[in-house]
Chains A and B, each alone.
Chain A
Amino acid sequence: MKNIASDYLIYDETKGIYKEDPEQAVRDDVEKHQWAGVLHIILRDWRLYIMLVPMILVFLFWRYFPMYELLGCFKVSDEVKPVAQQFYKGFSEFKGLLFGSSAKSYDFWRAMRNTFLLSFYGLCFGFPMPIIIALFFNEIRSNVARSVYQVMTYLPKFMSTVVMTTLVTMLVKQGSLTSSMGVLSQLFVKLGLITSEVGNAGLLNAPGFFRAIYLVSGIWEGAGYDSIVFFAAIIAIAPTSYEAAQIDGAGKMAQMRYVVLPSILSTIVIMLISRIGSLLNVGYEKVLLLYNTNTYMTADVVSTFAQRYGIQGSLKGLASAAEMMNNVVGMLLVISANTIARKASDVSLY
Chain B
Amino acid sequence: MKRKLEISELIFKIISYLLLTIFAIACLYPFVYAISAALSGRADVEYSRVVLFPKNIQFEAFKTMFTDNLFWNSYANTLYLTFFGTLWALGVALLGAYALSKKRLLFRKGFNFFLVFTMWFSAGIVPQYINYLNTQKVFNAVGIKDDKWLVIIAMGMAAMNIILLRNAFEGVPSEIEEAAIVDGATEFQILGKVYIPMCKSTIATVALFFGISRWNGYFWARQMISNASERPLQVFIRLKLEEFTDPEHMAGWNEVYASDSIIYALIVCSVIPILVIYPFIQKYFAKGVNMGGVKE
Contact = CB atoms under 8 A, between A and B. Distances in A.
B126 interface: yes
Given A5-B181, A54-B92, A181-B48, A62 B131 contact: yes
A162 B111 contact: no
B92 A47 contact: no
B124 A251 contact: no
Contacts of A228: 285-286, 289-290
Given A69-B130, A179-B46, A229-B293, A307 B24 contact: no
A161 B245 contact: no
A115 interface: no
A331 B218 contact: no
B127 A55 contact: no
B182 interface: yes
A163 B103 CA distance: 44
Contacts of B27: 152-153, 155-156, 220, 224
A327 B274 CA distance: 34
Chain A at the B interface: mostly helix, strand, loop or mixed?
helix
Interface residues of A, number: 108
Contacts of A253: 8, 12
Contact of A160 (B5, B131, B216): B216
The bracket for how many chain B residues form the interface is 35 or more
A319 B126 contact: yes
A99 interface: no
A263 interface: no
A54 B125 contact: no
Contact of A9 (B155, B159, B178, B279): B178
Contacts of A32: none
A223 B219 CA distance: 24
Interface in A296-350: 303, 306-307, 310-311, 316, 319-320, 323-324, 326-328, 330-331, 334-335, 346-350
Contact of A66 (B116, B127, B278): B127
Given A170-B263, A316-B130, A51 B99 contact: yes
A5 B238 CA distance: 56
A39 to B, nearest CB: 10
Chain B at the A interface: mostly helix, strand, loop or mixed?
helix
Contact of B127 (A72, A153, A224): A72
B154 A61 contact: yes
Contacts of B153: 58
A5 B104 contact: no
A318 to B, nearest CB: 9
Contacts of A63: 118, 122-123, 157
A84 interface: no
Given A270-B294, A331-B120, A4 B181 contact: yes
Contacts of A55: 92-93, 95-96, 99, 115, 162
B135 interface: yes
Contact of B125 (A167, A249, A252, A284): A284
Given A70-B127, A249-B1, A350-B163, 19 more contacts: A19-B174, A41-B106, A45-B105, A47-B187, A48-B187, A58-B153, A61-B135, A63-B122, A72-B130, A158-B278, A160-B234, A182-B48, A183-B51, A310-B125, A311-B223, A323-B124, A324-B123, A327-B121, A334-B119
